Structure formats: structure tokens, C-alpha cells
């Protein structure tokens, strides 16, 4: 009887420790460490031993060779990631990815710390917030790759804690001021654009100390200078013979050019971007919020914002408000054109926003818990079942929603494509590669795994890989092209390139595309066709995987008509049906029938429910094309105009839509939009259908 009573009392004490607002203590320290270890192991069990596509591979290579990543270099990430290379793990990529898992788990530990220590919330709701963030889409994705965003999140939370302590201290200590400045400086060396854009948060949190302890400001500035030391290391570590993105820096001006991101000026500030692009990005951000935590979590987040607004100071309210509006600041400052690629690229910018939303979710859940606590605290077993069910539901829902994340699909695609490219090279060949999807994969296989050591690997511009033809800063763009062309012409080795020569305005004929997409179908080996078709066997998920899938389908469509592929490939595959219909409609072949196209569009329409707005609009454009083919011009025009009200003018699907609007109505405004946004070379295939207009 006594043992049963003791067990009952222990269960009540355990639940009380979870649901009552007791101060931070030793148990919380242990729980924080347990969370870091548990999630570190959880993510570590999923990371890939091969680089994924795009920037992940570049960070892996920079980390492996202690070089620099792309502009602005991210020296802090590169230096700290060296810890992972001390692990007794053979795969270089796996080590770099394990560092990403570690930073993610530390971020979750800090999130719990802020909820318990600074917001003084119950342990149960802090655990709920941590689990919701841990299993959210973006956080989970970023935890499995080598990228600077998770480390940026850790530094953001650390600065949040330090600046909050500064703001509360009546007389802040010198060490606290120095450390705060030092961490801010370190954050600048990891990702200075995001750090500066989030600086108002830290400024507002620390404002009382800035006013009452102005004499300590120089000490904080000294800390910032100390934190910038990784940038000093990066300047001297640049090398033309190692994997440094732009090689050796000749002087300070070239170095500042690299750090300033002027390299990407044409990406950050595109002249053709309009206010419509910004509206589409903002709508994308709103959808992303719902997607990260699910619609069920949104009421708790909203409730948490309002409850915090009533309880906390005006400073804290300003901090939360700016954090939530931060994406709007980014969207207003950057002139990106809205395309799926740009949207995917921008997603990771908002990781810190989701961390703040996680804190607001904690606050909202705390408000609800306090409301119902009086009704259930007499029943510890019932309350334990409720809390356990909620946490288990978060885990199950997270796995169901994000089950593709842990599959390592991007790494598998990168590995397959990299092997495919290198296997097709003849002995002792030159391979120029700058394709942003595959450069790192091919370079990793070649330099790290030793695949095809006889191949001589160069970057498209002759500057970004260790086999540099010249220093990046030594000449202008035209001079670089001339040097590359001269090298290829004079080389006795056969040369290949992962890009179409026509896109680079090069005139020589001995430079060919490694995929041979410009060659006649009869010259393409059957194994290449089989390889490309095998990549279409599984319907794509989301994000990069979807874009990769579409790229593979486009390559295959150079040789065969997608509509002639095996019927089973189209079952349950929205994208392949869409592309098959698109290829038929835009092929210009007179034998294409409306019935043949309609079957693909009908299958795509049946799968439209789970598709993005972007793909819905693409389907609408194709329906317009079908109506033109069927001679139902008025319906076609309405479909085009509805689609063009949403579709970015800069997207290639807009060209045929606008061209047909011009054909049907001789709309001079539509013609002007086309001519303003596209060069004549892109429009040449559509001029014939617009000649009827004056």
C-alpha cells in the first residue's frame, strides 16, 4: 500500500515539475543537455555521406579543404566545422553534415533555455515548443546539411540571451559587454547580411544598458573587433591552389568586393523584378509559416503573441514584432524575381523567424495550460496522458509531413549525376563544370573520393576549382572567356563542359555538353536514355527534388516525346503529366490532337489538390493552349488572363501565354511586356503566331 502511495506521489511531483512555473534549476540544466544529445543523435542518424545539391556541396568542400565558401565566405562556419573532421568517420561529407546536426541540436537547447529561464514558462510547454521546431520542415532540412543557417540560428539565440541580460542589468558587467560584442562579431563572420538585418532585435533588447552604461560601449566595440578575426584568417587563407571559392585575394579592395556580396548584385537586384514579385514572395512567406508548424499550431502562436504583449515590456513587444516582420524587410530590400528556384533559395533566410515563432508557441500553450490546469491537476494520470499524447502527435505529424527529408534524395541524385558525368568522360579529358547543381558533386567525387583521377577538372570560368587557369580578380569577364577559349583550343586533350556553349556565346566546336542534349537523338547512346528515364520512376516530392525532376524530364524530352513513355510513369504523377501535355502543345506538330493532350491534362487536374499555386497556374496556361488547339478562343483568352494575373511575367510559361493573348486580341500591352522582359532570341519561336497583328 505504501509503495503504491509513494508511486502516486512521485507521479504528482513529476507532473508538477512539468506544469508549474518553478524557477530554473539543476533539473533544467540536465534536461537541456539531454535535449541537445537526443536531437543531435536523431539528426546524426539521418545525415548523408555524400553532398546534396547546390550550396551544401560547396560548404562540404570548403570545410574539407579549409577553404572559403561562396561569397561572403562564411569563415566562422568553416573554422568551427573543423571540429567535425576530428571524428573517426571516413566520409568527409558525413563529418561536415554531423556538424550541421550538432548546431541544430544546440539551437534547440538554447530555445528551451530561453523559454524556461527568460520567459519563465512551464517545462511542458517549453518541451512542446522545442519539439514543434525540431520537427518543422525547414529546421529539419537544415539540420541534415552543411550550411550557415543553423549556426546563424544558434548565434541569434545566444545574442538574444546576452542582450536580454544586458537590458535587465542595472549595472552590466564588463565581461558581459565584451562577450556580447564578441558574439555579435562572430555572427557577422558567419552570415553578416542576416546578422545586420536582425541587429534591431539585439539593439532593442540591450537598449537600457546602452543608455545607462555608455562608457562600456567602446568595450563592446572591442569585442566586435575580436569577433571579426575569422575574416582576417579568410583574407590570408585564400589560395589559387586549394578549394577557395575565388582563390587568392590580391588586395583589400578585391577582398571587400568578395565580402560585400557584390558578386551576386545581378541576383539580389534584378532590374526586371516588380512589385508583383514582392507580393508573391510575401504570400509565399505566409504559406511557409503555416507549413512549418501546421495550421493547428497557428492559434497557439497568435495567442502567445497576444499573451506576451500583455505581460512583457514594450521592448519585448518591439523585438517580437520586428522578428515576425523580418521577412517583409528582406522582401522589400531584395529585388528577386519570383520563381520556384528563387523561392526555395529564400526559404532558409527565415529560420530565425521560426525560432521566435517557436517561443510564441510556447507562450500560447502556457496560456492554455494555465486555463485548464485547475480542472485537471487533481488527475495526474489523465494529465500525463494528455501531455504525452500531444508530444507524440507532434512527432508523428512531423514524420508524416516531412518523411522525404530524411530519405537523402538530393544526395542520391547528386551522387548518381556526378558518377554519370564522370563515367562518360574519355581518358585524360578536360571537364569544365560550373553547373550550380552539380559542380560540388562532381568535384567531391573527383577530389575527395578519387573517382576518375585522369580527368582534369576545371570550372566554367576557369577560376573556382583548384585547377585554376588564372586568378579570378586578374581580368574582366571578356578576358576570362578569351583565356578559357584559348586554353581549350590549344589543349591536346578532348574538352567537355556542363553547360551549353550557345549560352556563353562561345564559337568553338570542340567544346561539347557532357549530357549531349544538343546532339541528334541517333547519336545518343541508349544507356543515356535509360539513365534519364530511370530518374523519372518516382514522383518528386517538393523543393529542389521537384526542380531536379523537371530538369531531368526536360533533358529526356530532347530525345523522345514524354507522352510516349510507359503509361505507368504517369499514374499519380502530376508533374510528368503536366510536362507531357506542355511538350505536345508547344511542339508545333500539326498531328497533335486535342484529345491526346486532354488525357494528360485531365490526369494532372485530378492531382491538383496537393500542388503549389505556381503549378496550378501552369496547368491553367496549358488549358488555355488546349482551348486554342480546339478553336475555343474566347475561353482560352479568359484562362490566359486569369493565369497572367498570378504568374510572374518573368517565368517562361508566361511567354506562350502572352503570345497567345497577342494572337487572340492583338493586345499591344501584352506585346510590350514580352519585349521588355525577354530578348528577341527567347521570343523567336513565337513570332510566327503574332504576325497577324500590326
For 207-216, write each residue's pLDDT tens digit: 888 888 888 8
Residue 245 and residue 68 in contact, taking contact as beta carbons nearer than 8 Å: yes
What pLDDT does residue 519 have?
A: 45
- What percent of the chain is modeled with pLDDT above 70? 78
pLDDT of residue 15: 47
Cell of 245: 571559392
Confidence (pLDDT) at 621 = 79
Q: What is the Cα–Cα distance from 281 to 77, expressed in whole angstroms?
A: 28
Mean pLDDT lowest among 116-130, 170-184, 546-560? 546-560
Alpha carbon separation from 297 to 291, 304, 307 (Å, rounded): 10, 11, 15
The model's confidence at residue 452, banded by pLDDT at 50, 70 and 90, is very high
Banded model confidence at residue 393, pLDDT cuts 50, 70, 90:
confident
How confident is the model over 403-424, as a mean pLDDT? 73
pLDDT for 488: 81
Task: Express each pLDDT in 654-676 by its tens digit.
Answer: 666 666 666 555 656 666 665 66
Residue-wise pLDDT for 637-649, tens only, equals 777 777 767 665 5
Segment among 40-44, 103-107, 206-210 with least mean pLDDT:
206-210
Average pLDDT over every residue of 423-430: 83
Cβ neighbours for 644, distance < 8 A, ≥ 6 positions apart: 654, 657, 658, 661
Q: Residue range 601-623: average pLDDT?
A: 83
* Distance from chain centroid for Cα 360: 24
Neighbours of 505 (CB within 10 A): 7
Of the CA atoms within 13 Å of residue 330, those in its CB half-sphere come to 25
Does 250 score more than 80 pLDDT? Answer: yes
**Segments in 557-612 forming alpha helices (H):** 574-586, 594-606
Q: How confident is the model at residue 447 (pLDDT cuts 50, 70, 90)?
A: very high
Q: Which of 1-10, 86-95, 154-163, 630-639 has the lowest mean pLDDT?
A: 1-10
Amino acid 661: pLDDT = 63
pLDDT at 95 over 60: yes
Q: Is 520 helix (H, G, I), strand (E, B) or coil?
A: coil
Q: What is the mean pLDDT of residues 527-533?
A: 72
Q: Is the pTM of this model over 0.85?
A: no
- Name the average pLDDT for the chain: 79
Confidence at residue 507, expressed as pLDDT on a 0 to 100 scale: 39
In whole angstroms, what is the distance from residue 77 CA to residue 81 CA?
6
Each residue's pLDDT tens digit, 64-87: 999 888 889 899 999 999 999 999
Least confident stretch, 129-138, 249-258, 293-302, 472-481: 293-302
pLDDT digits (tens, 9 = 90+) for 135-158: 988 999 899 999 999 999 999 999
Judge contact between 328 and 282, C-beta under 8 A. Answer: yes
The pLDDT of residue 400: 76
Q: By mean pLDDT, which of 37-46, 322-331, 379-388 is the weakest?
A: 379-388
Residue 74: per-residue pLDDT? 93
pLDDT band at 652 (very low <50, low <70, confident <90, very high): low
Q: For residue 107, is pLDDT > 90?
A: yes
78 neighbors 62 (Cβ within 8 angstroms):
yes
* Per-residue model confidence (pLDDT) at position 389: 76
Residue 183 has pLDDT above 80, yes or no: yes
Question: Which segment of 147-151, 229-233, 502-506 scores lowest on mean pLDDT?
Answer: 502-506
Q: What is the pLDDT of residue 190?
A: 94
Say how many CA atoms lie within 13 Å of 198 toward its Cβ: 27
Q: How confident is the model at residue 8 (pLDDT cuts 50, 70, 90)?
A: very low
590, pLDDT greater than 80 = no
Per-residue confidence (pLDDT) for residue 84, from 0 to 100: 93
Residue with cell 542595472: 170
Among residues 651, 613, 677, which one has the least CA distance to residue 339? 651
Task: Report percent pLDDT > 90 for the chain.
Answer: 26
Q: Which three three-digit cell numbers place residue 34?
A: 539531454
The region, left, alpha or beta by phi > 0 then psi within -120 to 50, assigned to residue 66 is left
Amino acid at each position: 500500500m505504501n509503495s503504491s502511495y509513494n508511486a502516486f506521489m512521485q507521479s504528482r511531483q513529476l507532473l508538477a515539475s512539468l506544469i508549474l512555473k518553478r524557477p530554473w534549476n539543476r533539473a533544467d540544466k540536465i534536461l537541456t543537455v539531454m535535449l541537445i544529445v537526443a536531437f543531435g543523435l536523431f539528426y546524426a542518424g539521418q545525415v548523408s555521406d555524400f553532398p546534396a545539391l547546390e550550396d551544401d556541396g560547396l560548404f562540404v568542400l570548403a570545410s574539407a579543404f579549409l577553404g572559403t565558401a561562396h561569397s561572403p565566405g562564411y569563415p566562422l562556419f568553416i573554422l568551427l566545422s573543423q571540429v567535425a573532421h576530428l571524428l573517426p568517420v571516413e566520409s568527409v561529407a558525413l563529418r561536415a553534415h554531423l556538424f550541421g546536426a550538432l548546431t541544430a541540436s544546440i539551437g534547440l537547447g538554447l530555445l528551451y533555455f530561453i523559454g524556461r529561464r527568460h520567459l519563465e514558462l512551464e517545462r511542458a510547454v517549453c518541451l512542446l515548443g522545442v519539439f514543434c521546431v525540431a520537427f518543422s520542415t525547414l529546421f529539419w532540412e537544415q539540420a541534415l546539411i552543411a550550411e550557415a543557417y543553423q549556426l546563424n540560428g544558434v548565434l541569434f539565440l545566444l545574442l538574444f540571451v546576452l542582450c536580454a541580460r544586458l537590458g535587465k542589468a542595472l549595472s552590466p558587467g564588463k565581461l558581459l559587454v565584451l562577450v556580447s560584442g564578441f558574439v555579435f562579431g562572430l555572427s557577422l563572420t558567419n552570415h553578416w547580411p542576416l546578422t545586420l538585418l536582425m541587429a534591431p532585435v539585439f539593439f532593442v533588447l540591450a537598449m537600457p544598458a546602452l543608455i545607462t552604461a555608455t562608457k562600456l560601449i567602446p568595450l563592446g566595440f572591442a569585442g566586435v573587433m575580436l569577433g571579426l578575426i575569422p575574416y582576417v584568417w579568410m583574407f590570408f587563407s585564400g589560395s589559387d591552389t586549394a578549394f577557395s571559392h575565388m582563390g587568392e585575394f590580391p588586395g583589400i579592395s578585391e577582398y571587400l568586393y568578395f565580402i560585400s556580396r557584390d558578386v551576386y548584385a545581378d541576383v539580389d537586384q534584378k532590374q526586371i523584378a516588380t512589385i508583383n514579385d514582392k507580393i508573391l514572395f510575401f504570400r509565399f512567406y505566409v504559406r511557409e509559416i503555416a507549413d512549418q508548424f501546421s495550421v493547428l499550431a497557428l492559434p497557439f502562436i497568435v495567442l502567445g503573441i497576444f499573451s506576451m504583449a500583455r505581460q512583457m515590456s514594450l521592448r519585448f513587444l518591439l523585438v517580437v514584432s520586428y522578428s515576425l516582420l523580418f521577412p517583409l524587410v528582406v522582401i522589400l530590400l531584395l529585388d528577386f524575381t519570383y520563381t520556384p528556384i528563387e523561392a526555395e533559395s529564400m526559404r532558409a533566410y527565415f529560420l530565425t523567424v521560426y525560432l521566435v515563432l517557436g517561443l510564441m508557441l510556447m507562450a500560447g500553450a502556457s496560456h492554455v495550460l494555465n486555463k485548464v490546469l485547475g480542472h485537471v491537476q487533481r488527475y495526474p494520470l489523465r494529465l500525463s496522458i494528455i501531455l504525452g499524447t500531444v508530444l507524440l502527435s507532434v512527432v508523428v505529424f512531423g514524420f508524416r509531413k516531412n518523411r522525404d527529408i530524411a530519405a537523402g534524395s538530393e544526395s542520391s541524385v547528386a551522387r548518381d549525376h556526378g558518377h554519370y558525368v564522370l563515367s562518360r568522360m574519355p581518358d585524360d579529358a578536360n571537364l569544365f563544370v560550373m553547373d550550380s547543381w552539380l559542380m560540388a558533386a562532381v568535384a567531391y567525387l573527383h577530389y575527395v573520393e578519387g573517382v576518375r583521377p585522369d580527368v582534369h577538372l576545371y570550372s566554367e570560368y576557369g577560376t573556382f576549382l583548384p585547377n585554376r587557369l588564372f586568378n579570378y580578380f586578374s581580368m574582366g569577364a571578356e578576358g576570362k572567356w578569351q583565356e578559357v577559349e584559348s586554353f581549350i583550343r590549344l589543349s591536346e586533350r578532348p574538352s567537355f563542359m556542363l553547360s551549353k556553349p550557345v549560352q556563353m556565346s562561345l564559337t568553338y566546336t570542340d567544346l561539347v555538353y557532357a549530357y549531349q542534349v544538343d546532339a541528334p537523338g541517333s547519336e545518343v547512346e541508349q544507356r543515356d536514355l535509360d539513365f534519364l528515364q530511370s530518374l523519372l520512376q518516382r514522383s518528386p516530392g517538393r523543393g529542389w527534388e521537384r526542380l531536379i525532376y523537371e530538369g531531368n524530364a526536360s533533358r529526356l524530352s530532347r530525345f523522345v516525346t514524354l507522352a510516349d513513355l510507359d503509361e505507368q510513369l504517369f499514374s499519380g504523377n502530376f508533374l510528368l503529366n503536366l510536362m507531357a501535355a506542355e511538350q505536345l502543345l508547344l511542339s508545333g506538330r500539326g498531328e497533335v490532337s486535342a484529345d491526346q493532350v486532354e488525357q494528360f491534362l485531365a490526369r494532372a487536374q485530378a492531382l491538383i489538390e496537393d500542388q503549389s499555386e505556381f503549378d496550378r497556374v501552369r496547368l491553367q496556361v496549358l488549358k488555355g493552349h488546349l482551348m486554342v488547339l480546339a478553336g475555343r478562343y474566347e475561353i482560352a483568352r479568359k484562362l490566359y488572363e486569369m493565369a497572367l494575373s498570378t504568374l510572374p511575367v518573368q517565368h517562361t510559361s508566361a511567354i506562350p501565354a502572352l503570345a497567345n493573348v497577342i494572337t487572340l486580341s492583338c493586345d499591344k500591352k501584352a506585346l510590350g511586356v514580352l519585349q521588355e522582359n525577354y530578348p528577341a532570341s527567347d521570343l523567336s519561336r513565337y513570332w510566327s503566331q503574332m504576325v497577324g497583328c500590326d
